[in-house]
A and B are shown apart, each in its own frame.
Chain A
Amino acid sequence: MFKIINFVLALAIALPVYAFAVDGTNLLKEVDRNLSPESYESYRKLINIEPNGKKKEFTLFTVKKGTDKVASVFLAPASEKGRSTLRLGDNMWLNIPNVGKPIRITSMQSVVGGVFNNADIMQLDYNAEYNVAKVEEKSSEYLLYLKAKTKSVAYDQLKIWVDKKKKLPTKIECLTEANMLIKTLYFKEVKDFGGGIVRPAVTETDSPLYKGYKSVMIMAKVKKRTFKDEIFTLTFMPNLESLR
């Protein structure tokens, strides 16, 4: 009888703790969904800013489907127009209209130069690439410690600061396996894009590897849209702009 009472008491004490413990994986999935619908289209402007203030801008149209399919086509500047990128899981390709055929590229390269690399530009859902190793609860934020699921992921570890109320990231640190900081992403200007999509419109990044340089990504016209799988193929890459 005592055993039963002890068990009930222990359960009663433990239950509130359990109920309030943060499930990191679910939180990460929530962050992913708040950042973007599972399938959507968007326009993005990437701005590389040099220490002397000089800027170079790129405009892209991007489509995404599910957890592992992203494709983009450059709309500006004229020198990049028509270039398209495709990501299927760990596979990435770049199609340059004049050169012709899509060539395989790697996540750590950058098709635009500057601080953003290909993995940043063709970002998949974080929970598709990372496991949550630890969650720390702070006064207004959660701090998620993520570990890459495979070696093929661009950054081995991520630290994501998540706004408790909005369940949106405010800052992400990208680290190597040896805990070396590669870059920091800052999420700013939360905006209602319509259709229930409320997310930061601006992502800034800097890196200790590029001291004084900064890159900025501005989102526009983010909206839910479904796509056929055939769009996310090498053969379709030259035709991506027809989706606009």
Chain B
Amino acid sequence: MKRSGLIFLALLFLAFPFLALAEENYTFDLSEIEKKPYQFSGYVEARPVLYGLDTDAAFYKLRFYDDSHRQTLGEANGRVRLEGSYEKSILRIFARLNTDLQYNDHTNGSEKTTFYEAYASTKPLTSVKIDVGKKTLKWGKGYAWNPVAFADRPKDPDDPEQAMEGYVIATADFIRSFGGPLKTLSFTPVLFPVYEHINSDFGNTNHLNIAGRLYFLFYDTDIDLLFMAGGSRPNRYGFDFSRNLTTNFEIHGEYAWTTNHRKTVMDPAGAARQVEDEAHSFLVGLRYLTSFDLTTIMEFYHNSAGFSRDEMKNFYSLISSGFNAYQTSGDLTGLGRAMQLAESGYARSSAMRNYLYVRLIQKEPFGILYFSPSLTCMINMDDLSASIIPELLYTGITNLELRLRAGFITGAGDSEFGEKQNDYRIELRIGYYF
């Protein structure tokens, strides 16, 4: 007993220095935080997608009218995004260049390289910043939709966290902080030129539009008042808000009013005509986090300028009759008209009037760090068709993002999601940041 005790003590004594060393020493290399005037970073992504096609759907007929027995479509997508900046004193220049590559055996390959952003900034005072160049403004509080994002391209509710291309603008931020219930006030005026070679895809050319945002943090609520006017698009005015009701419960909303909104609609006889009316759109939403780390994002979106159920049915009928005409006689007139109408608005995302968006994200279930499964459901409340997207995201390897995503469609014929070209899609997104 004594001997074994001595051996134990001797072993403990011998082991003690190693035990003491086992206490981890953490290091923080200060060269990691040295600031350089220039910075360079990037992102590369590979995204193979398999589409399961719905051969009866209207958008299938519109796209695959000349290949109408195709059941699936495989697609390889790639993306390279490069960012660089240079900063000296109060001046900074920044550029983000995006290249998208796509290959499928229907349309073959395509490549598109665009400066998403490229602008120069100056910050003469802490409270004043001026930017000139191509930039995204990202106005609004909504997650899936932003009816008040007057000076941005529309977000894709299917993938709302993707980087977007901006417009060429001149803008400034003026900020003031206060004590009391009004903590922050900021004003962001925007000059938005639309001419033949600048922002020509935004609207009517040869106009210098103006826009602005007045932001308040008032009684712990973010409030924005926004407008845009100038002739390229009808004038529009709006507001948004966001507030945390409790530490785990946030609410937000947006409202936009557009004067003289114009859209092209089809009547039952198949004739297209332009209608003009004022448009109201709004969004109300919430984010809620449970004690077991389930985040719920829920939003309801209404757009009075969206297409009615009957207007969409007329459009689907046009595709159907055009497709039949092509099948029987090779006549492309009907499908050609349908393609024009699709481009004018019928094919855009969230083209109808009322939508419900629900996204559930479970953070790190079963103790698996950096793993977040989610389920997203977008329901067209006018025809009760829906898109359901389950997703698995893993970010446990530094700078690598792995996302496995599927998409399923439910909905009857003549419904928005029921007439999409796919029944399902499966995609794997492998992204690497550097």
Residue numbers of A with Cβ under 8 A of B are 43, 45, 47-48, 50, 54, 56-57, 59, 61, 75-79, 81, 88-92, 96, 98-101, 103-104, 106-110, 113-114, 151-154, 202, 210-211, 213, 216, 218, 220-221, 228-236, 239, 242, 244
Contacts and interface: CB of A to CB of B under 8 A. Distances in A.
B215 A106 contact: no
A154 B28 CA distance: 28
Given A113-B370, A230-B175, A242-B87, A79 B398 contact: yes
B17 interface: no
Interface stretch (B30-38, B54-62, B332-340, B407-415): B30-38
Contacts of B207: none
Nearest to A99: B161
Contacts of A244: 35
A100 B137 CA distance: 8
Nearest to A100: B138
Closest 10 pairs (CB-CB, A-B): A100-B138, A229-B177, A79-B433, A78-B433, A98-B163, A230-B127, A235-B186, A101-B138, A230-B175, A233-B184
Contacts of A202: 26
A234 B217 contact: yes
Contact of B123 (A81, A109, A228, A239): A239
A233 B175 contact: yes
Contacts of A61: 33
B247 A79 contact: no
Contacts of B87: 242
B136 interface: yes
Contacts of B127: 228, 230
A88 B182 CA distance: 12
A110 B293 CA distance: 10
A78 B247 contact: no
A76 B289 contact: no
A42 B289 CA distance: 30
Given A61-B33, A77-B433, 7 more contacts: A76-B32, A78-B433, A104-B243, A106-B287, A218-B28, A221-B33, A234-B217
Nearest to A189: B26
Interface in B393-431: 395-396, 398-401
A184 to B, nearest CB: 17
Nearest to B371: A113
Contact of A109 (B33, B173, B295): B295
Contacts of B140: 101
Contacts, number: 149
Interface in B90-113: 92
A106 B250 contact: yes
B28 A108 contact: no
Nearest to A98: B163
B162 A98 contact: yes
A107 B247 CA distance: 6
A77 B250 contact: no
B166 to A, nearest CB: 10
Nearest to A68: B183
B222 A235 contact: no
29 contacts: A77-B398, A78-B399, A79-B395, A79-B433, A81-B41, A90-B247, A91-B244, A98-B161, A100-B164, A103-B143, A104-B222, A104-B244, A106-B248, A106-B249, A106-B250, A109-B295, A110-B363, A113-B363, A152-B246, A154-B247, A210-B367, A220-B30, A220-B33, A228-B127, A228-B177, A229-B178, A233-B217, A234-B217, A242-B92
Given A76-B32, A113-B364, A235-B188, A108 B247 contact: yes
Contacts of B41: 78, 81
Contacts of A78: 41, 399, 433-434
A166 B38 CA distance: 42
A75 B33 contact: yes
Given A107-B247, A233-B217, A234-B217, A239 B129 contact: yes
Contacts of A109: 289, 293, 295, 363
Contacts of B363: 109-110, 113
Interface string B260-301: 000000000000000000000000000101000101000000
B176 interface: yes
A218 B28 CA distance: 7
A106 B247 contact: yes
Contact of B33 (A43, A232, A234, A239): A43
Nearest to B116: A98
A91 B364 CA distance: 24
B183 A104 contact: no
A91 B216 CA distance: 14
A45 B184 contact: no
A47 B184 contact: no
Contacts of B26: 45, 47, 202, 216, 218
Contacts of B35: 244
A220 B129 contact: no
B364 A211 contact: no
B136 A230 contact: no
